[in-house]
Chain A
Amino acid sequence: MKNKRKSIFISITQFVLLAAILVPAVTLLLWIFTERWTWPDLAPQVFSKRAIFEIAGRKKELLQILWSSILISTVVAVLSAVIGIMTARAILLYRFPGKQVVYFFTILPFMVPATVFAMGIQITFIKMGLNNRITGVIIAHLICSLPYAIRLIMDGTAAVGSRLEEQARVLGASPFKAFYKTSLPMLMPVILSAVSMSYIVSFSQYFLTLMIGGGNVKTFTILMVPYLQSGNRNIACIYSTLFLGVTLLVFGVFEWAAGRFMKHGGGEFYTSE
């Protein structure tokens, strides 16, 4: 009896969660083709392909911006993971003066409001000649994504520890080889999370990209947000759908790449004792 009630509770939860994702997604798709949809009708009254044609006319420009956006965000994601791994290891496995300060700095970007940060960094970047450049945008995005990456990878690194690397070292592995062959496959699931998180932080960054990129660096979000704000629903919905689809696709590629690395199931942080 109790078991049955529990399973009903679980299915209701699953249903609500699924609906919470599917209803907006379907609405999004419907709005791409909707010309008129007034209250109280449940379905749109007039459909049209106007918005699709409008977007199709700018296909070339759109694809180019989409591609460069994916590239920028992937670079940010990969750099985040690499810097995240190195920082997590430095903090957890090595001893050096000022360690507590470095640890504190890793969460600092969480505390400073994004707009305040964007203003400050713009002035700094202008002085350094990084403004209006892709490098500048990538660095700015990195500052936003690194706290997530470092924190995630730190949890994983703390769980994996240096046990297996020590074993690999005494069996003849160089420091890098020991990490690459033992800890890295074990850490792959958290690295995947860190990469995905960093990617989405970068891909959806609007204000910061606008400030640092200064209109020179166009990303998909820069293109999309004005439509979301102007109330042109059809175009906005096409962009949103593209945003969703591309993100899912990229995550799929990340997952595939990570899977190749842990053929025998990484992420089992604790060996059988």
Chain B
Amino acid sequence: MSLMVEDLKVVLQKKVILNGISLDIREGEFISLLGASGCGKTTLLKSIAGLLEIQQGDIRIQNASVAGIPPEKRGTVIVFQDLRLFPHMTVEQNIAFPMELQKVPKDVRKKTVKKLLEEVQLTGFENRKIKEISGGRCRELHWQGLLLQIRECCS
């Protein structure tokens, strides 16, 4: 996967949040973006994922522009800092959510969830509700669900 951002401009509620942002990430690279709180990291990620409209510039994934492609078809995933697990679902349903969307058969989903939970030593937590799990463990769960999505996209 490669990602290119060219001269990006994002305006939210008449305020220019991002302006002239360019960035080039090549296959296999692992990039950290650092910056003070409120400098626009989340805004950049949301723009790349297609959750925000961009005012100007271009975003290219695998060298193809993603302009006009909705978030669900971009294959980009965000782990939000405010932990957006689905509180009305169980642990299992949370992790299996992307698989459910891709119409993965139920038994395969169950098996995969079991394996992923084993990896973070959370076996037996399948039917717990999210609010019964501690914060640190929530983050682990979150990663599992998202990792799965990334795996699906790369395969």
Q: Which residues of A contact B (CB under 8 A)?
A: 95, 163-164, 166-175, 177-178, 181-182, 185-186, 262, 264-266, 268, 270-273
Contacts and interface: CB of A to CB of B under 8 A. Distances in A.
B87 A271 contact: yes
B106 interface: no
B143 interface: no
A170 B51 CA distance: 8
Given A163-B82, A268-B131, A272-B135, A170 B49 contact: yes
A272 B71 contact: no
Contacts of A181: 86, 97
18 contacts: A167-B84, A169-B70, A169-B72, A170-B77, A171-B72, A171-B77, A171-B101, A172-B98, A172-B102, A174-B70, A174-B72, A178-B72, A264-B88, A265-B129, A270-B87, A271-B131, A272-B131, A273-B82
Nearest to B77: A170
B71 A273 contact: no
B10 to A, nearest CB: 14
Contacts of A178: 72
Contacts of B46: 166
A172 B101 contact: yes
Interface string B6-17: 000000010000
Contacts of A266: 88
Contacts of B88: 182, 185-186, 262, 264-266, 268
Nearest to B148: A171
Contact of A171 (B90, B93, B131, B146): B146
Nearest to A163: B84
A152 B13 CA distance: 26
Contacts of B70: 169, 174-175
Contact of B83 (A168, A182, A262, A273): A273
Interface string B36-68: 000000000010011100000000000000000
B145 A169 contact: no
B4 interface: no
B101 A264 contact: no
Q: Which 6 A-B pairs have the closest CB atoms?
A: A167-B84, A169-B71, A171-B98, A172-B101, A185-B88, A271-B87
A198 to B, nearest CB: 24
A268 B49 CA distance: 27
A122 B10 CA distance: 50
B144 interface: no
B89 interface: yes
Contacts of B71: 166, 169-170
A172 B103 CA distance: 11
A112 B78 CA distance: 48
Contacts of B3: none
Contacts of B98: 171-172
B87 A170 contact: no
Contacts of A170: 49, 51, 71-72, 76-78
A271 B131 CA distance: 7
B135 A264 contact: no
B85 interface: yes
Contact of B86 (A95, A164, A169, A273): A164
A95 B71 CA distance: 19
B88 to A, nearest CB: 5
Contacts of B130: 271-272
